């Protein structure tokens, strides 16, 4: 599948700039001056970029790999949402346990073997242990946890 | 004469084995924290404050100074190896550091970053020792208009970063500036562009947003990439020997960047990002072949790293001379000074000259120790390139999450990190460079605050030009801005001509 999304992105940016512009009226001077300049810059350069795109279209943003990256971005949103329920370390463990093998399969096209799952499990253990030692034990950062009175 | 006596005594006091051991531990901790994206030097220093209070003033301050220097340097490691600034100060280091890694020159980049940081730190500290009193007085001459022009000078780096397509660079920078306008405006303090969503009142945090723009988006790019490793890493031999002539050849660049770093550091609030960006831009402007920048030019890396470490000592100048901290880091160290019962300012030399000069001597020793400790740690750090990228990408996402959370202990910061990261990834897919976006985000608030306050001042005089333009330092900065603009237009033309010539010679059978 081929996705040409640069023109769509520029149009979206112009729309967002227009939306922000509508909010300028309620602002007191001089709080509105800088945003006005910035919005003109954003909308102006987006329009020029759009024209450039029509004159000389850039390379296509294609394929399965782009969609895979988008899927990972979406999964990150689910992971962040999960943190608020089960805490950082548990959510991260689950996330890495799932993502490591999936990325390996997606990158190399290699089958999902027991060895790959074991390596992913060990890598997760190492990363989560390192994070725990650095952030919780040494730096005393109050990370959201499932069984704590922390800020979940 | 008394200065030399105090300085000598300071060196003798700092060369105590206990203080040296404390400083080595602080340097190791500082490098680790600086390398981890999201953990800033301010966090490193403030975490060590309770330990510093439990020590005597000389040891405590030596520890805080060492961790400050090391954390700023440590940011370069992640910038070079993962295209992720470990601390915001290393933003400009990514421009040439990561391309060097991709060219198989990771060792060279890491050692060059270390040496440049050490030299920058030493130059800055020497300037601090010689001139902290008169320079601190000069910094008082900077008002909002001067800060505005200083930020504009930094923003002009966008033009330098936008190799190939200036419009896309401007658009990326504009998006960064737009993100910076969300939240409370700096002049009247009312919420802006929040669309009724209360958490947006606190704005788009700089640390989580930079993590998103440079780390999260980088993780997505790594996951998208078919290659199994970031780069086919092969250790380089005799790197230090090869770098020696490079540093001798670029001694003027080093000195200029270190002076820029110290000068910018002296200005309260300007910080390491502006210092390194201006130094980078100046390095590019003075170079005979500016087209190499952004593609692995070691000069860009040297300029950025020497400037941001020179800024460390610069930021201590107004803090020690006037009691005005030049950065958040200096503010934390000021807190430590006050907790030790030491009053900064003009009476510092009279009442606590021994501690003050021991602190400055410790900065010299900390930089020298950093050269040894850093060189040993590089051997371990570079091994991250031997890890398959299928494991690095997801790990970066998990690190970014905790880094963003640690910035404000709020899940909203994590959402900001992910949101800006996804936006940056999509912009990069349209061919937009991400450096300008980060630059806009960092310098936007500085420029806006300077402009807003200047316009308010202009209301009293009824003349915007008088307040904003016709001031000696403003005129000097405007001159520099014009010079930077003209030279970047000239450079873009030269680059286009060279491209045309190269294409023509390639087409000729």
Chain A residues 70-89 within an 8 A CB cutoff of chain B? 72-73, 76-77, 79-80, 83-84, 88
The residue in chain A having the minimum alpha-carbon distance to the alpha carbon of residue B453 is: A30
- Tokens in use for B197? 């969503």
Q: List pLDDT tens digits, range A40-49.
A: 999 999 999 9
Q: What is the DSSP code (8-state) at residue A87?
A: B
Q: What is the ipTM of this complex?
A: 0.92
**A5 touching chain B per CB within 8 A:** yes
pTM for the whole structure? 0.78
What is the sign, positive or negative, of the torsion defined by CA atoms of B371, B377, B381, B383? positive
Average pLDDT, chain A: 86
CA–chain centroid gap for B452, Å, is 25
The residue in chain A having the minimum alpha-carbon distance to the alpha carbon of residue B33 is: A134
Report the residue of A5, A35, A97, A115 to disrupt the B interface, i.e. the one with the largest count of B CBs within 10 Å. A35
The residue in chain A having the minimum alpha-carbon distance to the alpha carbon of residue B183 is: A31
Map residue B108 onto helix, strand or coil: helix
Separation of alpha carbons A87 and A89, rounded Å: 6
Closest alpha carbon to B205 in B314, B294, B88, B96: B88
Read off the pLDDT band of A50 (50, 70, 90): very high
For residue B455, the chain A residues in CB contact (below 8 A) are 29-30, 33
- Tokens in use for B399? 């690190």
Closest alpha carbon to B401 in A77, A72, A138, A94: A77
Q: Which residues contact B296 (CB under 8 A, 6 or more apart)?
A: B96, B99, B100, B102, B103, B105
Can you give the pLDDT of all 509 residues of chain B as single tens digits? 577 888 888 899 999 898 999 999 999 988 888 887 766 777 678 667 767 777 888 898 999 999 999 989 988 988 898 888 878 788 889 989 999 988 888 889 999 999 999 999 999 999 888 877 676 566 667 788 988 888 888 787 676 666 567 888 889 999 999 999 999 988 888 889 998 888 899 889 887 888 888 888 888 988 888 777 776 667 777 888 888 899 999 999 999 999 999 988 877 666 778 888 889 988 888 888 888 888 889 999 999 999 999 998 888 887 777 666 666 777 778 777 877 878 776 667 667 778 888 999 999 999 999 999 999 998 887 777 778 888 888 998 998 898 888 877 888 999 999 999 999 999 988 888 887 888 788 788 888 988 999 998 888 888 888 888 888 889 988 988 888 778 777 766 766 665 566 556 555 55
For residue B405, the chain A residues in CB contact (below 8 A) are 88, 141, 143-144
Q: Which residues contact B39 (CB under 8 A, 6 or more apart)?
A: A139, B33, B86, B87, B403, B406
What is the pLDDT at residue B269? 61
Separation of alpha carbons B344 and B331, rounded Å: 12
- Tokens in use for A60? 């296509």
Catalogue the E-assigned strands of chain A.
2-3, 61-62
Rounded to 10 degrees, the C-alpha dihedral B198/B204/B207/B210 comes to 140
Separation of alpha carbons B359 and B398, rounded Å: 38
- Cβ distance B167 to A5 less than 8 Å, yes or no, reads no
Distances (CA, A) of B452 to B147, B274, B275, B464: 11, 19, 23, 11
Separation of alpha carbons B77 and B93, rounded Å: 9
- Cβ distance A27 to B192 less than 8 Å, yes or no, reads yes
Q: List pLDDT tens digits, range B153-178.
A: 878 767 666 656 788 888 999 999 99
């Amino acid at each position: 599948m081929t996705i040409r999304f640069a023109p769509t992105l520029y149009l979206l940016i112009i729309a967002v700039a227009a939306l922000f512009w509508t909010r300028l009226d309620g602002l007191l001077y001089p709080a509105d001056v800088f945003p006005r300049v910035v919005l003109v810059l954003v909308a102006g350069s987006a329009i020029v970029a759009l024209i450039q795109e029509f004159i000389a279209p850039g390379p296509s943003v294609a394929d399965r790999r782009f969609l895979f990256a988008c899927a990972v971005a979406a999964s990150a949103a689910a992971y962040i949402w999960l943190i608020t329920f089960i805490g950082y370390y548990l959510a991260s463990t689950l996330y890495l346990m799932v993502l490591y093998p999936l990325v390996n399969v997606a990158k190399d096209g290699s089958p999902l073997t027991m060895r790959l799952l074991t390596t992913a499990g060990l890598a997760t253990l190492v990363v989560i242990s390192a994070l725990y030692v650095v952030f919780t034990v040494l730096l005393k950062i109050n990370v959201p946890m499932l069984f704590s009175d922390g800020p979940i | 004469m008394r200065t030399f006596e105090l300085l000598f005594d300071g060196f003798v006091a700092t060369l105590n084995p206990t203080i040296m051991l404390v400083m080595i531990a602080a340097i190791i901790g500082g490098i680790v924290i600086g390398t981890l994206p999201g953990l800033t030097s301010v966090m490193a220093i403030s975490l060590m404050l309770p330990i510093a209070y439990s020590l005597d003033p000389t040891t405590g301050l030596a520890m805080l100074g060492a961790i400050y220097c090391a954390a700023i340097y440590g940011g370069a490691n992640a910038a070079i190896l993962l295209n992720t600034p470990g601390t915001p100060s290393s933003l400009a280091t990514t421009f040439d550091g990561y391309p060097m890694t991709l060219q198989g020159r990771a060792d060279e980049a890491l050692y060059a970053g270390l040496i440049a940081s050490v030299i920058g730190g030493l130059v800055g500290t020497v300037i601090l020792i010689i001139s902290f009193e008169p320079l601190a007085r000069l910094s008082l001459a900077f008002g909002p208009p001067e800060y505005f022009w200083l930020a504009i000078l930094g923003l002009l780096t966008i033009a330098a970063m936008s190799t190939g397509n200036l419009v896309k660079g401007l658009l990326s920078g504009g998006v960064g500036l737009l993100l910076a306008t969300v939240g409370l405006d700096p002049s009247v303090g009312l919420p802006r562009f929040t669309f009724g969503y209360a958490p947006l009142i606190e704005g788009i945090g700089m640390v989580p947003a930079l993590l998103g723009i440079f780390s999260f988006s980088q993780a997505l790019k790594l996951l998208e990439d078919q290659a199994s490793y970031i780069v086919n890493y092969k250790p380089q031999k005799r790197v230090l020997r090869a770098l020696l002539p490079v540093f001798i050849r670029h001694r003027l660049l080093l000195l200029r960047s270190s002076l820029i770093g110290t000068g910018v550091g002296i200005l309260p609030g300007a910080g390491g990002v502006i210092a390194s960006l201006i130094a980078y831009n100046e390095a590019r402007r003075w170079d005979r072949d500016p087209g190499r920048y952004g593609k692995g030019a070691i000069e860009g890396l040297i300029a950025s790293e020497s400037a941001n470490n020179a800024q460390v000592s610069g930021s201590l100048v107004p803090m020690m001379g006037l009691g005005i901290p030049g950065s958040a880091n200096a503010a934390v160290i000021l807190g430590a000074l006050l907790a030790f019962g030491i009053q900064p300012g003009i009476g510092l030399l009279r009442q606590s000259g021994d501690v003050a000069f021991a602190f400055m001597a410790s900065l010299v020793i900390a930089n020298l120790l950093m050269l040894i400790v850093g060189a040993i740690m590089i051997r371990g750090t570079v091994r991250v390139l031997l890890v398959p990228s299928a494991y690095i990408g997801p790990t970066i996402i998990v690190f970014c999450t905790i880094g963003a959370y640690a910035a404000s202990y709020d899940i909203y910061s994590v959402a900001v990190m992910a949101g800006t990261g996804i936006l940056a990834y999509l912009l990069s897919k349209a061919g937009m460079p991400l450096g300008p976006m980060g630059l806009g985000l960092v310098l936007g608030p500085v420029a806006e605050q300077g402009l807003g306050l200047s316009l308010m001042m202009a209301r009293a005089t009824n003349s915007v030009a008088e307040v904003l333009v016709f001031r000696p330092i403003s005129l000097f900065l405007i001159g520099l801005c014009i010079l930077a603009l003209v030279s970047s237009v000239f450079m873009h033309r030269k680059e286009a001509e060279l491209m045309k010539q190269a294409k023509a010679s390639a087409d000729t059978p």
